[in-house]
Chain A
Amino acid sequence: AQSVTQLGSHVSVSEGALVLLRCNYSSSVPPYLFWYVQYPNQGLQLLLKYTTGATLVKGINGFEAEFKKSETSFHLTKPSAHMSDAAEYFCAVRYNTNAGKSTFGDGTTLTVKP
Chain B
Amino acid sequence: DVKVTQSSRYLVKRTGEKVFLECVQDMDHENMFWYRQDPGLGLRLIYFSYDVKMKEKGDIPEGYSVSREKKERFSLILESASTNQTSMYLCASSLVGGLEKLFFGSGTQLSVL
Residues of A within 8 A of B (CB): 6, 9, 31-32, 34, 36, 41-46, 49, 51, 90, 92, 94-97, 99-107
- Known contacts being A31-B98, A104-B42, A104-B43, is A99 close to B56, with CB within 8 Å? yes
Residue B104 interfacial (CB < 8 Å): yes
Asked whether B98 lies within 8 Å of A100 as measured between CB atoms, the reply is yes
B90 near A44 with CB under 8 A, answer: yes
Q: Is the CB of A9 within 8 A of B40?
A: yes
B37 → A minimal CB distance (Å): 9
Q: A94-B98, A99-B31, A99-B56 are in contact. Are A45 and B43 (CB under 8 A)?
A: no
Interface residues of B (CB under 8 A from A): 4, 31, 33, 35, 40-45, 48, 50, 56, 58, 90, 92, 94, 96-102, 104-107
Measured CB to CB, the closest approach of chain B to A99, in angstroms, equals 4
Nearest CB of chain A from residue B106's CB, rounded to whole Å = 5
